[in-house]
Amino acid sequence: MVQSALSRPGQRERYDSKIGQIDWVFVTLLAMLAGIGALIQYSVGGMSWEPWAYSQLRNFALFLAMALVLAVVDLRFWLWLAYPSYAVSLILLILVELIGDTRMGAQRWLEFGPISFQPSEFMKLAIVLALARFYHERKPEDANWSFWLLVPALMIAVPSALVMHQPDLGTGMLILLTGGAVMVLAGLNWKAIAGAGLMGAISVPLAYFFVLHDYQRNRILTFLNPEGDPSGEGYHILQSKIAMGSGGLLGKGLGLGSQSQLNFLPEKHTDFIMAAVSEELGMVGGAMVLLLSGTIIIMALRMAALSHSHFGRLAASGAIATYACYVLINGAMVMGLFPVVGIPMPLVSYGGSVMLTVMAGFGLILGVKVHRYQELPKQSSMLANLME
């Protein structure tokens, strides 16, 4: 870096120097992950670009462009966007509850003319921004232990409860975990963390008996004993394990995975794509995805830590926490270590809306790095500053 050039007043605000500040190694890693995903989608689509590989690559190109644009957006814009986006997402979630479209037994979708979308996807990013802004404006002591903490607690609890009620246990849990991660990173008292952990441990069995739907309970039972019902609920887990196990070290080869090609593996191109990767590319392929994901997470946390603003730090780390939850939960689910919840492997699994969410998150992370020297005011006159 040419430090002297950057230290000239106004230099950092120029878009060409901002683009130079984008972490292109990080972008390359993202592209590699999406590339592996497209490769496998090409394979399980019957060695064909249709129906999945082509649109996956097109989506990635589109969303990557969007992420790069977001990366050069001033942090003050994100800060300004935090509360309104949270408010809009919350309203949409309530709308889903009232008038949402029911698909496959779950009420998740809103339709505006030709566009249908899941507001819960927006909430994943909005909750991160809103929490980051909240902590940005509070004193560090308040983040540790104070009555102020009721605010973030409610900010997390309300949307996650709404999403879980749809019912979308996976996304609800993701919002809860992401929010929790931001609270911990902001400096939550260890005793409070321990207490929350304890409460979680107690609430799991309670939720099992009083809150969960039958199909969700079945999934958990199946998870605990997948061999008990190999043709019903346990089928997914068993077939996934067979696919991975039979792949061996080097895999069966692209297009040669019998489990994925002959439809024994369910949701082979979406939630269970990791099993298809491991079957066709072997442990080398599976480990590659895990290694890429891990590198992305560590790099993002480092970028977050470099930020001079508390908002930037928390927003970037919150966004990467969402991604980390996706990877860990999906990985554990596919390998039979966690019950089947509808959580895909971001960038690798086929699907536009999840890719949109995580790529927006990566755009934010890249932006935090680009704007790492930017100091942000503590009060809410940013819009005025932005307009100057």
Partner 1 sequence: MPEMSIVFNDINKSQGVFTRRAFLIGGLTALGLFALGTRLAHLQIVQGGKYSTLSARNQFNFRVIPPPRGDILDRHGRVIAGNRPSFRVMIETNEVKDINSTLDQVAYILPQTVAMRRRILRDINQNKRSVPTLIAGDLSWEDFSKVSLYAADIPGVVADMDQLRAYHHGGAFSHVVGYVSKINAADMKVEGEKPDADINLLHHPSFRIGKQGIEKSHDNILRGTAGGNKMEVDAGGKVVGEDGDGSIAAMPGADVTLTLDLDIQNRALEAFGTDSGSAVMMNIHTGEIICMVSAPSFDPNLFVSGIPTKAYRLLADYERKPLLDKSVGSTFAPGSTFKMATALAILDAGINPEEQVFCRGGYQVGNRFFRCHGVHGSVNMRNAHKFSCDTYFYSMCNRAGVDRIAKFAGKLGLGHTWDGFEIDGQKRGLIPTEQWKRDYFNGTKGRANDPKWHPGETASVAIGQGYVHVSPLQLAVYASRIANGMKAVEPHLVRQIGDKVIDHTKDFADLGIPKAHLDIVRGGMWAVSNEPGGTGRTNSQLDLGPNITISGKTGTAQVIDYAKAGTRKAADWMHKDHGLFVCFGPSDAPKYACAVVVEHGVAGGRFAAPKAREIMRLAMIKDPEIQKRIVGPVSTALDTAALARGEAAGASDMPNEGQPAETPPAD
Q: Which parts of this chain interact with partner 1 (CB under 8 A)?
A: 139-140, 143, 181, 184-187, 239, 241-249, 258-259, 262-264, 278, 282-283, 286-287, 290, 293-294, 297-298, 301, 304-305, 310, 313-314, 317, 321, 324, 327-328, 331-332, 335, 337, 375, 377-379
Contact assessment for residue 222 and residue 229, using Cβ atoms and an 8 Å cutoff = yes
Q: 68 vs 283, which CB is nearer to partner 1? A: 283
Q: 119 vs 331, which CB is nearer to partner 1? A: 331
Q: What is the dihedral of CA 271, 275, 280, 281, to 10 degrees?
A: 100
Q: 189 vs 218, which CB is nearer to partner 1? A: 189
What DSSP string describes 248-276? Answer: TTT-S-TT--HHHHTT-STTTTTTTHHHH
From the CB of residue 249, how many other CB atoms can be counted at a distance below 10 Å? 8
Q: What is the C-alpha separation between 62 and 67, in angstroms, rounded?
A: 9
Q: 119 vs 279, which CB is nearer to partner 1? A: 279
Q: What is the C-alpha separation between 85 and 154, in angstroms, rounded?
A: 16
Q: What letter represents residue 99's amino acid?
A: I
Number of H helices, E strands in the chain: 17, 3
Tell me the chain's radius of gyration from C-alpha atoms.
21
Tally of residues, the chain: 388
State in angstroms the smallest separation of the CB of 257 from partner 1.
9
Q: 8 vs 302, which CB is nearer to partner 1? A: 302
State in angstroms the smallest separation of the CB of 344 from partner 1.
15
Q: 108 vs 371, which CB is nearer to partner 1? A: 371
* Cα–Cα distances in angstroms (integers) from residue 91 to residues 94, 122, 129, 324, 354, in the given order: 5, 11, 16, 27, 20
Q: What letter represents residue 95's amino acid?
A: L
Buried b or exposed e, range 189-210, using 16+ CB within 10 angstroms: eeeeeeeeeeeeeeeeeeeeee
Q: Cα-flanking dihedrals φ and ψ of residue 3, to 5°? A: -60, -40
- Helices (H), ranges, 72-139: 75-99, 119-136
State in angstroms the smallest separation of the CB of 45 from partner 1.
15
State in angstroms the smallest separation of the CB of 15 from partner 1.
26
State in angstroms the smallest separation of the CB of 282 from partner 1.
7
Q: 301 vs 359, which CB is nearer to partner 1? A: 301
Please work out, in degrees rounded to the nearest 5, the angle formed at the alpha carbon of residue 195 by the alpha carbons of 335 and 329.
Answer: 15
Q: 74 vs 93, which CB is nearer to partner 1? A: 74
> Closest Cα to residue 71, out of 359, 335, 297?
359
Q: 214 vs 227, which CB is nearer to partner 1? A: 227
Can you tell me which residue has the tokens 């089947």? 340
State in angstroms the smallest separation of the CB of 239 from partner 1.
8
* Cα–Cα distances in angstroms (integers) from residue 46 to residues 40, 66, 228, in the given order: 10, 30, 32
Q: 55 vs 189, which CB is nearer to partner 1? A: 189
State in angstroms the smallest separation of the CB of 287 from partner 1.
6
State in angstroms the smallest separation of the CB of 342 from partner 1.
19
Q: What is the C-alpha separation between 235 and 238, in angstroms, rounded?
A: 5
Structure token digits, residue 361: 């998150």
State in angstroms the smallest separation of the CB of 35 from partner 1.
20
State in angstroms the smallest separation of the CB of 335 from partner 1.
5
